[in-house]
Amino acid sequence: MLTADRASRASESASSDLAGAAPPDRGVAAAPAIEVRHLAHRYGSRWIYQDLSFSVPEGRVVALLGKNGVGKTTLIRLLMGYLKPVGGRCRVLGEPSHALSPATRARIGLLFEGHLAYPFMSIAQVERFYGPFYPRWRRDLFDELVDRLELPRDHKIANMSCGQRSQVVLGLIFAQDPDLMILDDYSMGLDAGYRRLFLDYLKRYLDQGGKTVFVTSHVVQDMESLVDDLIFLRRGRAALQMPLGHFRERFRCFAFAPDDGMAPAADGVIESVDLHGREPLLYSFASSEQLAEHLAERWPRVRLGDEQPMTLEDAFIGLTGKY
């Protein structure tokens, strides 16, 4: 019999597997690039997190995923010291996030949500402005990315489309040659081609070794070829962290036949139930045998169907829910 308790341990074990998991292709370094312990934050009386803990080991690419409003951008603001947490602590590259030294900030390439940039600067001026702040400035990388825009260097950022502006901003971040990239929704405003190009550049950047990327994105399918680990933020539930491979391997989707309209509900073994589609589906980290056993105990008249193939996006929606 698989109880909710046992299954939640199964889910937790999936999350704790990260520590012992063999890295898929990049080595795990000893010190975490980002460490969050018992973080608590709220806006007014609304709690965003009450006890959030996770770490991003150096040399890994970690995606922070979650539905709108679960606190992804808030977390990045906390990590960069733009917000003071109500409780707990965050450390970035070994320093407290609210007191990052200039030398440490020089090692962090930060992409703000919405590709924040100075609209009154031209392409040439923004490069002239940022270059002197970064000792490892790679103007060649900036030029390479920005030349693809085929815009004159005196073109103002204010007169660019959202996608063009994002290319300039991402060019600036690559040119910094940072040890840690924190990218808050990098895909916003990028077309499919440029998103692919950006991922190619990101892989080249990672190939240098020792680089860490912490990324949020709404385009979940991009994560498949990029990330090592996933962190799911879920409203009112503990964050779930695990290697991408483990998630793809262990998180399953099954069809089921409801019992006269009575459907199973999420309970710790069952992560979520989708009744909105043509065929009712349920999602779980449990194996089909464990799930069948669980259903037999809790919903004996519900019949478990076949396991369904899933894309990463399907799995993400299955875990976090559609609404």
Partner 1 sequence: MLRAIFLKEWLKLRWSLFGLLLLHLCLLGYLWLRLRHQFQVEHSEMIWYWVFELRRLLYDQLMLLPALTGVVIAVAQFGPEMLGGRFRLSLHLPVRGDLLVWAWVAFGAGVGALLALLDVVGLYGLIGLFFPREAAASAVLTALPWLLGGWVAYVGTTLVLLEPAAARRVVYLVLGLAFLALLYRHRGYQEYDRILPALIAASLLLVPAVILPAHRYRHRS
**Structure-block tokens of residue 193:** 């081609």
* Phi and psi torsions of 242, nearest 5°: -165, 160
Find the part of the chain contacting partner 1 (CB under 8 A) among 46-54, 121-129, 159-167, 298-306: 121-129
In the complex, least distance from residue 148 CB atom to partner 1, rounded to whole angstroms: 23
CB closer to partner 1 out of 23 and 131? 131
In the complex, least distance from residue 9 CB atom to partner 1, rounded to whole angstroms: 35
CB closer to partner 1 out of 84 and 203? 84
CB closer to partner 1 out of 131 and 245? 131
38 binds partner 1 (CB under 8 A): no
CB closer to partner 1 out of 102 and 309? 102
State the residue for tokens 């609209």.
Answer: 119
Q: Is 8 helix (H, G, I), strand (E, B) or coil?
A: helix
In the range 134-163, which residues lie near partner 1 by CB under 8 A?
134
Using alpha carbons, list the distances in angstroms from residue 164 to 100, 154, 176, 190.
Answer: 31, 14, 19, 8
Find the part of the chain contacting partner 1 (CB under 8 A) among 12-20, 122-130, 222-230, 245-253: 122-130
Q: Binding residues for partner 1, how many (CB under 8 A)?
A: 30
**Cα gap 87→75, rounded to integer Å:** 13
CB within 8 Å of 30: residues ≥ 6 apart: 58
**Cα gap 271→285, rounded to integer Å:** 8
Strand partners, 231: 64, 241
CB closer to partner 1 out of 101 and 225? 101
Strand partners, 47: 42
CB closer to partner 1 out of 129 and 307? 129
* Angle 148-149-154 from CA coordinates, rounded to 5°: 120
**Cα gap 130→176, rounded to integer Å:** 9
What's the number of CA atoms in the CB half-sphere (13 Å) around residue 149? 26
CB closer to partner 1 out of 183 and 242? 183
CB contact burial 49-70 (16+ within 10 A = b; e otherwise): beebebbbbbbbbbbbbbbeeb
258 binds partner 1 (CB under 8 A): no
Considering only CA atoms, which of 17, 60, 26 is closest in space to residue 247? Answer: 17
Single out the residue of 23, 131, 258, 305 in contact with partner 1 (rule: CB under 8 A).
131
In the range 91-120, which residues lie near partner 1 by CB under 8 A?
98, 102-103, 105-106, 108, 110, 112, 114, 116-120
In the complex, least distance from residue 84 CB atom to partner 1, rounded to whole angstroms: 4
CB closer to partner 1 out of 109 and 268? 109
**Structure-block tokens of residue 55:** 């770490």
In the complex, least distance from residue 249 CB atom to partner 1, rounded to whole angstroms: 38
**306: buried, middle or exposed (CB in 10 Å: 19+, 13-18, 0-12)?**
exposed
Write each residue from 64 to 83 as x if it is in contact with partner 1 (CB under 8 A), else as -, in one continuous string.
----------------xxxx
CB closer to partner 1 out of 41 and 294? 41
121 binds partner 1 (CB under 8 A): yes
In the complex, least distance from residue 109 CB atom to partner 1, rounded to whole angstroms: 10
| Interacting residues toward partner 1 by CB under 8 A | 80-86, 98, 102-103, 105-106, 108, 110, 112, 114, 116-121, 125, 128-134
